[in-house]
Amino acid sequence: MKVAVVGATGMVGEVMLKVLEERNFPITELIPVASERSIGKIITYKGTDFKVVGLDTAVSMRPDIALFSAGGDTSLEWAPKFAEAGSTVVDNSSAWRMDPTKKLVVPEINANELTKDDKIIANPNCSTIQLVMALSPLHDKYKMKRVVVSTYQSVSGTGVKAVRQLENEIAGIDGEMAYPYPIGRNALPHCDVFQDNGYTKEEMKLAREPQKILNDRTFSISATAVRIPTAGGHSESVNVEFENDFDLSDVRKLLSETPGVVVQDNTDTNTYPMPIYAHDKDDVFVGRIRRDETQPNTLNMWIVADNLRKGAATNTIQIAEYLVENNLV
């Protein structure tokens, strides 16, 4: 099993390598891939050193699976080349997510849609993954009508430059700015670029991607995405209106029985999800579960996950695991 990690020296790429090792993914040959400036660098995986290669070289090596986390432009150009060489690409960028010919996959929800013909598979947006992990079982039982979500997203979602900006501000150092304003002691209602409709690209991903993953456009989602000065972990305040009424104890039970979801919801002991607890974990944490008292059949909850793991690297690798286990590569 030859596996290429495209973007191996980047933030998500490094986490991918860590998760591949932790989960003991069946690799016979690892191909770390990065941009020209990183070619020749050494990556250590399971105690063995591997030399970083360029994209042309990686394609010629014909990996069975190529895990991409190198940005949308790279994916648009190179994912088809890997696919033509016989590789199955799992892409972590936004390049292919809304392409009607490509599957958008969260394994716990819709991996069973994958076939051998799917040579480019899209990994959803980090905020989308944790949202649908909690919404999917509730939608199956109570049927969603409308979702309002406000996100509290860490700087690691922007990348290493943003993490460095926050660290510099904490240390009182003037440095390169990833954002148009300081992020320390601040909150920026500005994730990704603004669109013509006044929403950001991130907000529109949250509105559209869940409909595709759940294969249902009968519900609507309105989102506001906010960047906050946490180093890792995304949080979401979610208000869901259902067609059918629910019992709170049934909601908690349903969520707690959902693979990959952990309920942390006891106000007597101040138990609720926080990024500091989600750090380096693969689960999606749900708490502050309560009825919206202003209108019928409506639920409030708080969802937290590590955006670099389940929100990116782990979900990508879970897709690859499904492909291997079901002989789809």
- Assign residue 224 the CATH number of its domain: 3.30.360.10
Whether residues 145 and 284 fall in one domain? yes
Whether residues 293 and 318 fall in one domain? no
**Which pLDDT does position 85 carry in this prediction?**
98
- Are 153 and 131 spatial neighbours (Cβ–Cβ below 8 Å)? no
**Which pLDDT does position 170 carry in this prediction?**
96
* C-alpha angle 277-321-91 in degrees, rounded to nearest 5: 80
Whether residues 162 and 34 fall in one domain? no
**Which pLDDT does position 73 carry in this prediction?**
95
Whether residues 268 and 214 fall in one domain? yes
Whether residues 294 and 319 fall in one domain? no
CATH number of the domain to which 85 belongs: 3.40.50.720
Q: Domain containing 218: what range?
A: 127-307
Question: Is 307 labelled as part of a ligand binding site?
Answer: yes
Question: Is 37 labelled as part of a ligand binding site?
Answer: yes
Q: Which residues are catalytic?
A: 126, 234
Whether residues 108 and 87 fall in one domain? yes
Whether residues 119 and 141 fall in one domain? no
Whether residues 110 and 153 fall in one domain? no
Whether residues 103 and 153 fall in one domain? no
Question: Is 208 labelled as part of a ligand binding site?
Answer: no
Number of domains in the chain: 2
**Which pLDDT does position 144 carry in this prediction?**
98
Claim: this prediction has a pTM higher than 0.95: yes
Question: Is 106 labelled as part of a ligand binding site?
Answer: no
Whether residues 234 and 107 fall in one domain? no
Whether residues 158 and 209 fall in one domain? yes
pLDDT < 50 stretches in the chain: none
Whether residues 43 and 162 fall in one domain? no
